[in-house]
Structure 1
Amino acid sequence: MSRLLGHRLFWPSAVLAALLLVNVVFTNGFLNVQMKDGHLYGSLIDIVRFGAPLILVALGMTLVIATGGIDLSVGSVVAIAGALACLRISLLGDQNSVGGVLGAIGLALALSLVLGLWNGVLVTAAGIQPIIATLILMVAGRGLAQLITDGQIITINSSPYKLIGGGYWLTLPFGIIIVAAVLALAAFLTRRLALGLLIESVGGNAKASRLAGISARGVLLTVYAFCGLCAGIAGLMISSNVSSADGNNAGLWIELDAILAVVIGGTSLAGGRFSLGGTVLGALVIQTLTTTIYSIGVPPETTLLFKALVVTIVCLLQSPAFRAKVLHGRRRRPSASARPVPEEKKASVSA
């Protein structure tokens, strides 16, 4: 039992199950999944669908954190990607042109990849601390997104683009399929190839990995580029779901939710070992928590406080030191009177 309680995914799974149980109590038919017009509908489907952008950003954040870094700019990259794609589509003569939409998507993803590489260059070549390097793009990127949209909300009407975040394919929301594909790719690259071992080596001990002949610079550039790409895909998903781009509010604070998802999933902020499955579980916990807040009628002004409280509880339950002190109690040392008397001392007393 203690081994099960100590598993890094046990407490996030338990909290997720508890949140789902709360929703079952407060929402009639919460677990029902129905087929309508060839599409699956239900609250469980909606949780994964609306949590898809967070899962994507958190997957990229996981690899960055595994190297001992951090990326605070993912929210800005989300806004930039959505803004650029919507701007290009709005300039098309036919917004339903598949070729034109694909071109806009490719341009947005290419820019997201470049922005991720830019973060990597600042960290590796310039030697800037990751939190500072990505903070630069976090601030400047939000301004760039508003510059692209000219401070306005760009609205489009494109069926092909709507498919990314609001469409269905093979009975499932297309966003879920995108997340599954990205997760499968990340798992293959990190668990079937040597990339995962290299990431853990750089994050665990950068100096030792360098002495072992591992190119830390190449690994860091790869993970930051992947993180930027994941944020770009999430930006396309968010903007296509509402058929508009808002450079000011799109992806706002998503970087904090992504970091929380990674930590809840069992990945240490100090770097080293990481868990992609744990990150997905952590993102689902956060999205289910958001759904729970609305379903039980928590006042909007206390939403963030309630969310922070639940996340804090999850993190504390994951801490072995906290469980040892609170859940199991401290082991007290035996008092002097209760300590056994050595045999030599007994002999001297009897003599």
Structure 2
Amino acid sequence: MSRILKHRLFWPVVVLVALLLLNLVFTDGFFRIEMKEGHLYGSLIDIFRFGAPLILVATGMTLVIATSGIDLSVGSVVAIAGALACMRISDLSDQNSVAGVLSAVGIALVLSVVLGLWNGFLVAGIGIQPIIATLILMVAGRGLAQLITDGQITTVQSSSYKLIGGGYWLTLPFGIIIVAVVLALTAFLTRRLALGLLIESVGGNAEASRLAGISARGVLIMVYAFCGLCAGIAGLMISSNVSSADGNNAGLWIELDAILAVVIGGTPLSGGRFSLSGTVLGALIIQTLTTTIYSIGVPPETTLLFKALVVTIVCLIQSPAFRAKVFHRRRRPVPASTAPEEKVRVSA
């Protein structure tokens, strides 16, 4: 039992279950999942569907934080990817053209990777602190997204593009399937191959990793590029779900939610290790918390305050030092051995 209590995912699971049960109190049939017209519907499905973009962004953020870095620009990349894709689609003569939509999606994702590479170059190539390097793109990227849309909300009428964030496939929301594929590939590359160990070694001690023959710069650039790709996919999902792109508000503050999800999931900001499963739990906690806020009728003007308060409580509960102080856990003194000492006879 003590091993279960000390597991890093125990408290996130407890908090998630508590939030779900709280929703059950305020919403009848909260756990009910129904099949309508070949699609699965229900509150639990909605939590996964609306939380899919955050899970993607938090997945990329997890690997960045594992290298002892941070990426504050993911929100801007979300806005840029959605803006570019919607602008390309709006210029098509046939917005339902699969080839045209795929072209727009491809261009948006390529630009997202390029922006991630730019962050990696500033951090690994030039040596700028990650928080400063990504803060540059955070500010400039939001302006770039508004330049792409000319400061207007760009709307599209494309059923093909709508599939990414608002469509269904195999009875499930297509966004959930995208997240499952990205998570499976990430877990395979980082846990079944040596890539995860390389990332953790760079985060633990980049100089020692370099001396051991690991290309720390290459790992950093790759991780930031992957983070940009995840943010780009999330941007496509968000914009396609509402069939529009808002360069000013799309992905606003999602970087903070992603960092919170990573921390709640047990990945330390100091780097050196990471937990993908913990990050998914953290993202689901944040999305469930948002659902709970709407369910219990928290006033809109106090939503952010309530959310910050709950997240603070979750982080404190997870802290072993805090729990030790609150519950006055002290190390028990080791009892002295009562066994008689063996006498050693020395023969003359």
| TM-score under structure 2 length normalisation | 0.94
C-alpha distance in structure 1 between counterparts of 2:115 and 2:331, whole Å: 52
**Counterpart secondary structure, 2:273:** coil
**Counterpart secondary structure, 1:261:** helix
C-alpha distance in structure 1 between counterparts of 2:23 and 2:246, whole Å: 31
**Residue pairs, 1:157-176, within 5 angstroms:** 157-176=157-176
**Residue pairs, 1:13-28, within 5 angstroms:** 13-28=13-28
**Counterpart secondary structure, 1:125:** helix
Shift of 1:145: 0.1
Quote the residue 1:314 is aligned against.
314
Quote the residue 1:84 is aligned against.
84
Shift of 1:210: 1.2
**Residue pairs, 1:1-351, within 5 angstroms:** 1-330=1-330
C-alpha distance in structure 1 between counterparts of 2:330 and 2:305, whole Å: 31
Q: Which amino acid aligns with 1:89?
A: I
C-alpha distance in structure 2 between counterparts of 1:11 and 1:215, whole Å: 36
Q: Which amino acid aligns with 1:11?
A: W
Task: Structure 1: give runs of 5+ residues left out of the alignment.
Answer: 334-351
C-alpha distance in structure 2 between counterparts of 1:305 and 1:287, whole Å: 15
C-alpha distance in structure 2 between counterparts of 1:108 and 1:148, whole Å: 12
Q: What RMSD in Å do the two structures reach over aligned CA positions?
A: 1.0
**Counterpart secondary structure, 1:29:** coil
C-alpha distance in structure 2 between counterparts of 1:332 and 1:325, whole Å: 15
Q: Which amino acid aligns with 1:124?
A: A
- Per-residue CA deviation, residues 70-107 of structure 1 (Å, 9 max, x unaligned), is 00000000000000000000000000000000000000
C-alpha distance in structure 2 between counterparts of 1:330 and 1:145, whole Å: 54
Quote the residue 2:339 is aligned against.
none
C-alpha distance in structure 2 between counterparts of 1:288 and 1:296, whole Å: 12
C-alpha distance in structure 2 between counterparts of 1:157 and 1:327, whole Å: 57
C-alpha distance in structure 2 between counterparts of 1:289 and 1:190, whole Å: 29
Identity within the alignment, %: 86
C-alpha distance in structure 1 between counterparts of 2:169 and 2:328, whole Å: 49
Shift of 1:331: 6.1
Q: Which amino acid aligns with 1:204?
A: G
C-alpha distance in structure 1 between counterparts of 2:74 and 2:185, whole Å: 20
C-alpha distance in structure 1 between counterparts of 2:252 and 2:238, whole Å: 11
Shift of 1:115: 0.1
C-alpha distance in structure 2 between counterparts of 1:83 and 1:207, whole Å: 39
Q: Which amino acid aligns with 1:201?
A: S
Q: Which amino acid aligns with 1:304?
A: L
**Counterpart secondary structure, 1:108:** helix
Shift of 1:2: 2.7
Q: Which amino acid aligns with 2:264?
A: I
- Per-residue CA deviation, residues 238-274 of structure 1 (Å, 9 max, x unaligned), is 0000000000000000000000000000000000110
**Counterpart secondary structure, 2:41:** strand
C-alpha distance in structure 2 between counterparts of 1:35 and 1:331, whole Å: 54
C-alpha distance in structure 2 between counterparts of 1:13 and 1:156, whole Å: 39
C-alpha distance in structure 2 between counterparts of 1:8 and 1:248, whole Å: 37
Shift of 1:328: 3.8
Ranges of 4+ aligned residues in structure 1 off by more than 6 Å = none
- Per-residue CA deviation, residues 101-131 of structure 1 (Å, 9 max, x unaligned), is 0000000000000000000000011110000
Shift of 1:329: 3.8
